[in-house]
Chains A and B, each alone.
Chain A
Amino acid sequence: MPEWLKKTLPPLVFGLLIIFGWELLTYVTNADPRIYPAPSEVLAALLKHPASMFRNAKITALEMVLGFVLGAVIGIALGILLAYSKVVRSAVYPWLIVSQTVPIPAIAAVLVIWFGFSIVPKVLVVVLIAFFPVAVSTVDGLKAVDPEMVQLMRTFGASRARIFREVRIPVALPHIFTGAKVAAAFSVLGAVFGEWVGAKGGLGYLLLLKNRAVNTDEVFAIILALSVLGVGFFGIIVLIERLTIPWYHKARQLEGAQ
């Protein structure tokens, strides 16, 4: 059996079993399809209004991507500041942790008051969720440098800027990508929260509408679409990671082989 099949087969079989069991259960119990839709009905609902589904998915995807990119940039910049400035670290770091204890929907409500029903509050909610894991992993990554490697660069006569570029950044990149993957997975959550508080479009908005109308099959279809968005986005980040730091994966594969 080829390696990729060995990896993908177990989760695939497991997932199919769950879906099959669920389908069977709805028939055996003769459940009300408006409340407990079978997977086959969810699939049908997904294809019922493809244009609307697609249009709203595009809105949510845009919010995710914009928010993630902005959050990642802020996270990396903040991480660099935190790693290099003692003043910033002691003054800002505790507040950063406090900021993560604030419930995001509460903030989203305020953002809607400030920015209305535009895309801005949704993007900001995603930013608020995405920046933190990236900032923390950037700090960790920048601190993970072998001091002897820095010494080696100094014996070459390298400047601090050069050492930062040639050594600290490459060491930090795998860590930063770990944070970015967490941020990518959570960015769906941020976009949906943002839409729930006030929106005129997007999958989260659509989900609320269908939920109020008790179109449970369509609610599930939207949940499915959202998770496809999330997994797809995560996959894109993984792909970018593979292309950016190929050496890291080669080393890991070799370690695994030994």
Chain B
Amino acid sequence: MEERIIVSNVSKGFGKGDARVEVLDGLDIRVGRHHFVSLLGPSGCGKSTLFNIISGLMEPSEGTALVDGSTDRLGTCGYMQQKDLLMPWKRITDNVALGLIVKGTPRSEARRRAEEILERFGLGGFGHRYASEISGGMRQRAALARTFLAGDDVLLLDEPFGALDSLTRLQMQSWLLDIWQQSAASIFFITHDVDEAIRLSDRVHVLSGRPASVVLTLEIDLPRPRPYETVLTPEFAALKAQAIRYLHPDEQAPMQLEAIRDA
């Protein structure tokens, strides 16, 4: 397995002296070619900081982060944050093409590829609209399309569905799995939704609170494709119970969960 993202022994802190806050503590994470890896952790534990480091927006205090073997990371990953960050002054096609254009693709070529991916993402015919003229789910798909085009198949998705209502969210998960399986993309995904992490991923890293370190790594070998019903299987529940144990180490696991796990 060829590794596209390699995070070795990465620590990060902010501030100096007494005001210093340690956010990440010795993380070791790899994302292979066409792998789907998730980070699961409590809110504010520093997951986004890790993505800021991998994308090249920040440097780690210690350790190294490599994308395709290089430390020169700015401009290599497609990075999508929770907000869609579509620019209201650009039409959807131009928003989606933006990453390519900045990276030097001729405008007409970039727009052609944007139209193509919009078609594939179910947004054909919406390219001429402004972001304010399409729904939240569509905006999120457009942002994802932009990330796919900009990312050269290395994608960092930071709670991309966090702002959506739960029904739309489930649809988007199924849709993302579809899109991913037809692509060559390696996806590194952040969420604090246990079901979402397990359903989507090949591997889930559970993080502790601040400073964040990996407390559990789950290999998810549930068969694909994974329709929504996957979350109702005993195998899924067993994985979920394990993850919850480590997410909330102070709480006693409820009786029902114990029963499911033993089944």
By a beta-carbon cutoff of 8 Å, the part of chain A in contact with chain B is: 146, 148-149, 151-158, 162, 166-167, 170, 173, 245, 247-248, 250-251, 254-255
Contacts and interface: CB of A to CB of B under 8 A. Distances in A.
A130 B78 CA distance: 44
A169 to B, nearest CB: 9
B14 interface: no
B72 to A, nearest CB: 10
A146 B103 contact: no
B132 interface: yes
A95 to B, nearest CB: 34
A251 to B, nearest CB: 4
Interface of B: 52, 55-57, 74-75, 77-79, 81, 83, 85, 87-90, 98-99, 102-103, 130, 132-133, 150
B133 A254 contact: yes
B87 A251 contact: no
A77 to B, nearest CB: 22
A155 B75 contact: yes
A151 B99 CA distance: 12
B102 A148 contact: no
Contact of B89 (A156, A170, A254): A170
Nearest to B55: A155
A152 B89 contact: no
Contact of A148 (B85, B89, B90, B99): B85
Nearest to A246: B130
B75 A248 contact: no
Nearest to A251: B132
Nearest to A158: B102
B50 to A, nearest CB: 14
A149 B87 contact: yes
Given A148-B81, A245-B89, A248-B88, A155 B56 contact: yes
B89 A248 contact: yes
Contacts of B75: 155-157
Contacts of B52: 151
Contacts of A173: 89
B146 to A, nearest CB: 9
B220 to A, nearest CB: 28
A154 B132 CA distance: 24
A162 B98 CA distance: 11
B77 to A, nearest CB: 7
14 contacts: A148-B81, A151-B57, A152-B79, A152-B85, A155-B57, A155-B150, A156-B75, A156-B102, A156-B103, A157-B103, A166-B98, A170-B89, A248-B88, A250-B132
Contacts of B130: 247, 250-251
B185 to A, nearest CB: 16
Contacts of B83: 146, 148
B85 A154 contact: no
Q: Which of A152, A245, A247 has the most CB of B within 10 A?
A: A152
9 A-B pairs with least C-beta separation:
A157-B75, A251-B132, A156-B102, A170-B89, A155-B79, A156-B99, A158-B102, A155-B55, A247-B89
A247 B133 CA distance: 10
Contacts of A154: 56-57, 74
Nearest to B83: A148
The residue in B52, B87, B90, B150 that gathers the most chain A C-beta atoms within 10 A of its C-beta is B87
A156 B132 contact: no
Contacts of A158: 102
Contacts of A146: 83, 85
Contacts of B133: 250, 254
